[in-house]
Amino acid sequence: MKVVLEVTFRMGGVSFRGTRWDGENLVFEFERLGDAFIQVLSDQRVEADVEKTPKKVLIELKTKEGDKVFEAFERDGRYMAAEL
């Protein structure tokens, strides 16, 4: 099955690094590690092929200031999230 994630970040410069399982939760890994970023909303759409339905879909964002983890919600067969 395919899991589709649409996520909005509050700054540019975000790179998708992949996915991993954390128990029954599917984690989408992103990073923003540079020094200067455009202060504009940045949308990304990524997909992952998985063998089972995840209990939760989480977004992990690594930054120089530390890591953030937030949860996506499912709507119309897609998962959606926004960095706060």
- Whole-angstrom Cα distance, residue 26 to residue 37? 27
pLDDT of residue 36: 64
Nearest of 75, 78, 81 to residue 61 by alpha carbon: 81
- Whole-angstrom Cα distance, residue 1 to residue 46? 14
pLDDT of residue 15: 94
pLDDT of residue 84: 80
Distances (CA, A) of 70 to 34, 51, 55, 58, 83: 21, 23, 14, 6, 7
What digits encode the pLDDT tens for the residues 1-59?
A: 999 999 999 888 899 999 999 999 999 999 998 776 667 888 999 999 999 999 999 99
pLDDT of residue 68: 94
- Sorted by where each begins, the domain ranges of the chain are 2-82
